[in-house]
Amino acid sequence: MQPETKKIVQFFKSWVISTLAVLVAVKVVQGIHFRDPGLLAPVLTALMLGILNAFIRPILVIFALPLLILTLGLFMLVINALMLCFVSWLMQPYFQVDTFGAAMLGALVISLISGALNLLTGNTNARITIQRRPPPTNKKSGNDGNGPVIDV
């Protein structure tokens, strides 16, 4: 597959995953609603969220870097909730987030679903490998590790 085609396919996979994550958040979280019963509103909401995450979120992360360091990255959930509120404000008649608490919970659900689906579909650079290695042997002392064990 050509590199341009691969990037387009990865973009569409990411868009579909975001759309599914937004749909799950709407179903699970009380306070997040679609006014339109069709599929156009979730697709446009996921597209708008992706665009805002690509352009505005890095600026917010730079400004909030001390808080991110202080909270060990948990403030990223607040930034994601702000992005969800901003998308709600931009798409006001079709997509609505009632409270900031709903936005926080929705951001958590969207992050968890997106992360899990990206990991399952291979749409990320993260890889999980599980290896079992034999224990090291101490050849100098002649100890092969099978000696008596003293539990304290």
Quick one: pLDDT at residue 140?
Answer: 60
- Residue 90 inside a domain? The answer is yes
- The whole-angstrom separation of Cα 92 and Cα 81 is 16
Render pLDDT for 75-101 as a digit per residue (tens, 0 to 9): 999 999 999 999 999 998 889 999 999
pLDDT at 141 over 80: no
pLDDT, mean of residues 113-130: 80
CB atoms within 10 A of CB 90: 15
- For residue 88, what are the domain limits? 28-121
To which residue do tokens 């339109």 refer? 36
Tell me, what's the pLDDT at 81?
Answer: 94
pTM for the whole structure: 0.75
Number of domains in the chain: 1
Q: State the amino acid at position 52 in one-letter form.
A: L
User: Is 131 within the bounds of a domain?
Assistant: no
